[in-house]
Amino acid sequence: MVKKIGSRIYLSIIFLFLYLPILVLIVLSFNNSKTRVKWGGFTLKWYASLLENETIIEAFVMTLQITLTASILATIIGTLAAIGIHAMKSKGKAIMLGATNIPLLNADIVTGISMMLLFVRFTELGFSTVLIAHLTFDIPYVILNVLPKLNQTSKYAYEAALDLGATPLYAFYKIVWPDIRPGVFSGFLMAVTMSLDDFSITYFTKGAGVNTLSTMIYTELRKGIKPEMYALSTILFGIALILLLVMNYRSSKKAIN
Amino acid sequence: MFKLKKQFLAGPYIVWIIGFILLPIVLILFYGLSDYHGNFTFDNLLSIFDPIHMKSLLFSLRLALICTVICLILAYPLAMILNSMHLKHQSFVVFVFVLPMWMNFMLRILAWKLLLSNNGVINNILASLGLPAIQLLNTPSAVVFGMVYDYLPFMILPIYNAMSRIGHDIIDAARDLGANQVQVFFKITMPLTISGVLSGIIMVFVPALTSFVISNLLGGGKVLLIGNVIEQEFMQTMDWNLGSGLSIVLMIFVIASMAFMNTHNKDGEGTAVW
């Protein structure tokens, strides 16, 4: 009993540690005061003025464009790559997995700098260079989420389907796809999360005109963060919370059925 | 014939690896090993022994080490508690730790800055208890605090994953054979989670060693990590050769810690974090 209470308390402290800053940001988004340290009463005005703040909206749209394009492309390339790697012999597999680990384990700053050195040699820094950089660190997350699911699928069912006259594409869609779909989906979600939260790699590979929310926050640090920024983050966090809760609810319903 | 076709699906990714993973590393080696005029030199690498660079490297190593140890101490019992809850949906645990990332990490660190500041919430609580205010911000401790906050999930998740894979029958068998809880922990739980611990250590140590944003935000310009030095070389001094040389040194440390993990991780399952 004492042990149980103790572990509950420990759990609460860690969750407080993780979620306290989020709570602070949410409270700040409703704070009717220009200074961050004082509570000036409840207001929704930052949410209203958010739409009129062009720099924030512009950075937000840019962030969405980069995040979604990179995540979708990374999911396609990564899933295909995972199927290919899965079919490889152990030596090829090891080499591919080793290369996949490089962007995951290498320091962000080194990845960002090395890509910048490549880009400035051949092209100008801009939207497409940020996109390529994001794809590079997104693809490994997709591969690492899809590969374990592929390992669980039975290759005999797939071969049986082929023997019974299914085309490879049809057999894939009917047999392999249902098994790997959760992995593909969680890989996509990880890619979105990582792209959305990335600062270092974007910072080094972006051109002058390109600003994501992260890089904008960094450049505005000295001037002070605009309250509209808190409003936008609160909305984003709310959407993520609802989205993930719905997904969890659906998957738990499925598990019961 | 068909086997061959399937492997071709990795084709685009192989091109990607060569073009955007390996080639950039070749370029960083090229810049790091040459001077402004393109002549071969070791000077950029050796400049790590410059007292200022050396000091920041050693300081970064120290902070990263402290951060990793704190994360491990916090995460291991947490993983045990989470595991003992026998959650039906383990994805829920991932969900809880990934969700905060949807709020920009710099904003979250800034929120801590508010809480830790001299007239912030924490010092107000101390004051109301009659305790003296403590200088929390702009110290190395604040930077370590921010790092622990940002990287703790990367320690928890691999350990939790490794722990949830341990079969209950193994533990039951050990208990049936007369092992007590302490023995079960040291003979079963610990050895079977070592791969998770090792990936956790890498996932925390490497970003902590190379971070430059957290030290900027919470260190108030007083904490100069090796990441800050490199960033300044690239963005302010514009000495790309020197910056690349120092990046190579950093990469050597990253590779060394990865090699350390691989030699100690025999089952090779710990690398999958999610």
Q: Which residue bears the tokens 């050796």?
A: B46
A20 and A121, same domain (yes or no): no
A107 and A9, same domain (yes or no): no
Chain A residues in contact with B70 by the CB 8 A cut-off are: none
Q: How far apart are CA A28 and CA B108, in angstroms?
A: 12
Q: What is the predicted pLDDT for the residue at B1?
A: 41
Q: How far apart are CA A231 and CA A44, in angstroms?
A: 9
A205: pLDDT confidence band, cut at 50, 70 and 90? very high
A111 and A191, same domain (yes or no): yes
A63 and A34, same domain (yes or no): no
pTM higher than the cut 0.95 = no
Contacts of A50 (CB under 8 A, 6+ apart): A56, A57, A228, A231, A232
Structure confidence by residue, pLDDT tens digits, B39-58: 888 888 888 898 999 999 99
Structure confidence by residue, pLDDT tens digits, B122-160: 788 888 888 887 788 888 999 999 999 999 999 999 999
Q: Report CB contact under 8 Å: A84, B9.
A: yes
Q: What is the predicted pLDDT for the residue at A252?
A: 66
Side-chain-side CA neighbours of residue A164 (13 Å): 8
Q: How far apart are CA B150 and CA A194, in angstroms?
A: 13
State the average pLDDT over residues A26-55: 84
Q: What is the CATH number of the domain that holds A103?
A: 1.10.3720.10
A234 and A136, same domain (yes or no): yes
Please tell me which residue of chain A has the smallest CA distance to B13: A81
Q: Report CB contact under 8 Å: B25, A116.
A: no
- Statement: residue A99 has pLDDT above 60: yes
A1 and A64, same domain (yes or no): no
B63: pLDDT confidence band, cut at 50, 70 and 90? very high
Structure confidence by residue, pLDDT tens digits, B162-184: 888 888 888 888 888 888 888 88
State the CB neighbour count (10 A cutoff) for residue B39: 8
From the list B8, B152, B216, the residue facing A84 with the nearest CB is: B8
Please tell me which residue of chain B has the smallest CA distance to A129: B20
Q: Report CB contact under 8 Å: A107, B207.
A: yes
Structure confidence by residue, pLDDT tens digits, A100-115: 888 888 889 999 999 9
Q: Which residue bears the tokens 């960094």?
A: A218
Q: What is the predicted pLDDT for the residue at B273?
A: 47
Is residue A171 included in any domain, yes or no? yes
A96 and A135, same domain (yes or no): yes
Please tell me which residue of chain A has the smallest CA distance to B206: A107
A78 and A198, same domain (yes or no): yes
Structure tokens at B191: 């050895």
Q: What is the predicted pLDDT for the residue at B252?
A: 92
Q: What is the predicted pLDDT for the residue at B265?
A: 64
Q: Identify which of A109, A91, A103, A90 has the alpha carbon closest to the alpha carbon of residue A140.
A: A103
Residues 177-236, chain B, touching A (beta carbon < 8 A): 202-203, 206-207, 209-213, 216-217, 227, 230-231, 234
Q: Report CB contact under 8 Å: B10, A80.
A: yes
A94 and A7, same domain (yes or no): no
Q: How far apart are CA B215 and CA B228, in angstroms?
A: 8
Contacts of B147 (CB under 8 A, 6+ apart): B63, B64, B67, B207, B208, B211, B214
State the average pLDDT over residues A219-225: 82
B46-264 maps to which CATH number?
A: 1.10.3720.10
Is residue A176 included in any domain, yes or no? yes
Q: What is the predicted pLDDT for the residue at A159?
A: 86
CA distance to A123, A219, B16, per residue, from A150 (Å): 38, 43, 22
A80 and A192, same domain (yes or no): yes
Domain positions in chain B are: 1-32, 46-264
Q: What percent of chain B has pLDDT over 90?
A: 41
Does the CB of B17 have a partner CB in chain A at under 8 Å?
A: yes
Q: Which domain holds residue A67?
A: 54-256
Question: Tell me, what's the ipTM?
Answer: 0.86
Q: Report CB contact under 8 Å: B111, A101.
A: no
Is residue A49 included in any domain, yes or no? no
Is residue A106 included in any domain, yes or no? yes
A17 and A109, same domain (yes or no): no
Q: What is the predicted pLDDT for the residue at A42?
A: 86
What domain count does chain A have?
2
Q: What is the predicted pLDDT for the residue at A192?
A: 92
A39 and A64, same domain (yes or no): no
